Amino acid sequence: MDMMLFLRKYGFLFIPPVYWLIYLGARLTYNGLAGEFSPDFFQGIRHEGVYIICSLCVFYFFCLEVEVGDGEFSANILFLIVFFHVVLLFITLLICLWQGEVLLDSIFMGQIIASMCLLFFIPVLSIIRRSF
């Protein structure tokens, strides 16, 4: 099978793992720059890792169950990712401006919250897709 044909048909399967790798990389980079590598941080990363792995397993289980291989599902996932991040960024900026200052910590935490919501909503989208 041609590589482009494979990516065109099953490329949507690569979106969640790449997204979570970027999330964990950003989290490690942010905490590394802040110098906050405490035992609690590593414990939190372990818990998030388990949560991410379970989320991906549910996602792939329902994708295989439903045999979803179209571009519409991929577009829905990308829209969900962009929508959550933009909305939470906008809300965080409004709160920061209301307080009179823009805090990068608040913005970053808002983006982490968006990522954690997506850990839940991407498998839920798969379940909803399976129902219809």
The answer to whether residues 64 and 129 touch, using CB atoms and an 8 Å cutoff, is: no
The answer to whether residues 110 and 84 touch, using CB atoms and an 8 Å cutoff, is: no
For tokens 């950003």, name the residue: 26
Distance of CA 117 to the CA centre of its chain: 8
The answer to whether residues 45 and 116 touch, using CB atoms and an 8 Å cutoff, is: no
The answer to whether residues 63 and 17 touch, using CB atoms and an 8 Å cutoff, is: no
Which segment of 47-51, 96-100, 126-130 scores lowest on mean pLDDT? 126-130
Centre a 10 Å sphere on the Cβ of residue 122 and count the other Cβ atoms it contains: 22
**What's the whole-number mean pLDDT along residues 93-120?**
71
Instruction: Output the six-digit token pair for 50.
Output: 């388990």
Q: How high is the pLDDT of residue 61?
A: 64
With 0.85 as the threshold, say if the pTM is over it.
no
pLDDT (tens digit per residue) in 12-69: 677 777 777 777 777 777 666 666 667 777 777 776 776 676 666 666 666 655 555 5
Nearest Cα residue to 80 out of 27, 25, 15, 17: 15
Q: How high is the pLDDT of residue 128?
A: 67
